Structure 1
């Protein structure tokens, strides 16, 4: 079963994405979800859910933030509201949230999403026994490991096929601390477009921003696995995630349509190198010019991952 998952930055874009062929929208609110293109109120989540359900699509809400004591107290009312809205799924990485769901008899399907820690089949199967209906794979897993993992699990494994990769998060306002120390007057939110470069390699471009969840730093290159979709299909990894945190507006919708075309080609068994090259050319023309693309860890040898 193929499933195409995509973030959304507005109610309007959410509708455009499902019309473009997205099967499941990934949205949320910044107090409970991490690195979202937009923060939606529960009223907006309800509106998007109605749109999606009317078109036979799903909605997954991010509840994967790092929960400290102050936030864990507010998560139950939020989860109850999501249950009332009838969202299809949530993502969760904090065992405390899973415990509270069961304790309060909140009937929401959940996908296990502990960010960089989802790296083994045994860990995934541990959470399957505790109710997980899926898992979000860490971005740092090479293909040879993915191939082995896919054979050892019984639930869908979501893999990022397009978008930015977070490589560090800290609750501390690291950028704000830096600009205050250096007496600069600059904003630190996502729209500012700040990035870090290594002194010995000025071509590096680690995007960085801050929000209520702290500081987020991203890899120099965004991920694009379009040329490797066939390998994913061969091992049964067919839940594909598109992340639009740095690719905005109509361009992201068009990129979603590209992957929807690819998904349909695989379903109809007409995927070809010629079609792949055609879609790849379109994708490269739509990707933000200031951002670079590669295959991330996918093509790396496990022994080379450092």
Structure 2
């Protein structure tokens, strides 16, 4: 049985490496132009080449996002960008605009094209239209149920791949097409500059009482009327796989390396467990526990099990739930001494109980008994961002192993 693809976000070169090492089959990245996450670190051409090489050496794929809704001025540099991406070996481009599609076909005729969720594809006829024009994967709109997806799959050619989101932030607007940010801040969400006004606090103002702010309902904290819960479908892996989709996508190119690695690893374990024994598969609560250790909002199943009700929104806060802190990442490990060279990401102290999360296998816990700085001096605390320190590990680790502790 061919496994579904696990597709992870990579907002930087480090995130790409983390995603690949922690179990992603493919990653999607953005260059310095044409992607919908202008605030992400994104990839220079040199970083893109290094990232593609890193992924391909490990049998993984790299997809390039070009899914802005472009205006005339955006088209001038696009042919050169497409040519360069093609020469670097990008496995596919993700786009939503027919003009962008034409430029890709004219300048890189062999390039595989994936149709972005921004194209709002919600039916099989639309998918068939794009297939007939040369698109080989449709990233379906998030406003579909599992039964609708299954029907779409049954009515399409077998070689047309379908991709769906399974985890991450949900947008209040239809598959991400939104003008709220443009109207309120002048930042075009459809060109990658969304200010996320859907997460802001709102009050009601009566026309003849300017400056008098009334809560939309009786709550002194206000109300966050557009604030969607995060999507989480890890408990429904068998149902998703049975729809016949090709790829399961995690949202989050602006999230941290720790977030990407943690989410990818949980979904990797769940997917692998299903394929090992489909008829006797059972959900392991440990996977959901792992997802709770990454920054998140309250979880929901989006549209997959039916249209969301009012319970699909969070009305009292726009804050994330952060129960664990990412405190360090292993750069090197000496198996003879058991000493790891670590780059600090948040403060840690001698005496802290920490969890050590390796790319392969389950995490283990240990207490920090001692730390040394780069000069070999004993230290009680590692307070400086990205400082280098040395620590004994109670079990073998490898590069990109993560250290975390309860917040």
TM-score, normalised with respect to structure 2: 0.63
Unaligned runs of 5+ in 2: 188-192, 204-215, 313-407
Equivalent position of 2:277 in the other structure: 269
Q: Secondary structure at the match of 2:269?
A: helix
Equivalent position of 1:19 in the other structure: 21
Equivalent position of 1:214 in the other structure: none
- Between the aligned partners of 1:303 and 1:220, the Cα distance in structure 2 is 11
Greater helix content: 1
Pair 1:171–1:96, CA change in 2 (3 A) = farther
Equivalent position of 2:147 in the other structure: 144
Give the CA deviation at 1:220: 1.6
Give the CA deviation at 1:298: 1.1
Q: Secondary structure at the match of 2:63?
A: strand
Give the CA deviation at 1:114: 4.8
- Between the aligned partners of 1:242 and 1:235, the Cα distance in structure 2 is 18
Q: Secondary structure at the match of 1:204?
A: coil
Q: Do structure 1's residue 236 and structure 2's residue 244 form an aligned pair?
A: yes
Q: Secondary structure at the match of 1:169?
A: coil
Which structure has the larger Rg? 2
Alignment match of 2:230 (pick from 222, 245, 253): 222
Equivalent position of 1:9 in the other structure: 11
Pair 1:120–1:193, CA change in 2 (3 A) = closer
Q: Do structure 1's residue 300 and structure 2's residue 306 form an aligned pair?
A: yes
Pair 1:87–1:59, CA change in 2 (3 A) = same
Alignment match of 2:264 (pick from 256, 265, 272): 256
Pair 1:94–1:190, CA change in 2 (3 A) = closer
Q: Do structure 1's residue 51 and structure 2's residue 51 form an aligned pair?
A: no
Q: Do structure 1's residue 204 and structure 2's residue 204 form an aligned pair?
A: no
- Between the aligned partners of 1:60 and 1:299, the Cα distance in structure 2 is 29
Q: Do structure 1's residue 28 and structure 2's residue 30 form an aligned pair?
A: yes
Q: CA RMSD for the aligned pairs?
A: 2.9
Which structure ranks higher in relative contact order (CA pairs < 8 Å, sequence separation ≥ 6)? 1
- Between the aligned partners of 2:149 and 2:308, the Cα distance in structure 1 is 11
Q: Would you say the 8 A contact 2:302–2:308 is kept in 1?
A: no
Q: Would you say the 8 A contact 1:31–1:65 is kept in 2?
A: no
Q: Do structure 1's residue 176 and structure 2's residue 223 form an aligned pair?
A: no
Q: Do structure 1's residue 157 and structure 2's residue 162 form an aligned pair?
A: yes
Kindly provide the CA deviation profile for residues 277-303 of structure 1, in whole angstroms up to 9, marking residues without a partner as x: 221122123233xx2221111111599
- Between the aligned partners of 2:106 and 2:257, the Cα distance in structure 1 is 40
- Between the aligned partners of 1:12 and 1:265, the Cα distance in structure 2 is 27
Give the CA deviation at 1:170: 3.1
Equivalent position of 1:129 in the other structure: 132
Give the CA deviation at 1:53: 0.5
Equivalent position of 1:87 in the other structure: 90
Q: Would you say the 8 A contact 2:200–2:224 is kept in 1?
A: yes
Q: Would you say the 8 A contact 1:32–1:65 is kept in 2?
A: yes
- Between the aligned partners of 1:301 and 1:223, the Cα distance in structure 2 is 13
Pair 1:229–1:16, CA change in 2 (3 A) = same
In terms of mean alpha carbon deviation, does 164-173 or 33-42 score higher?
Answer: 164-173
TM-score, normalised with respect to structure 1: 0.82
Give the ranges of 4+ consecutive aligned residues of structure 1 lying more than 6 Å apart after TM superposition: 189-194, 302-305
Pair 1:33–1:43, CA change in 2 (3 A) = same
- Between the aligned partners of 2:122 and 2:194, the Cα distance in structure 1 is 28
Pair 1:45–1:150, CA change in 2 (3 A) = same
Give the CA deviation at 1:162: 0.6
Give the CA deviation at 1:196: 2.2
- Between the aligned partners of 2:281 and 2:44, the Cα distance in structure 1 is 42
Q: Secondary structure at the match of 1:160?
A: strand
Unaligned runs of 5+ in 1: 179-188, 207-218
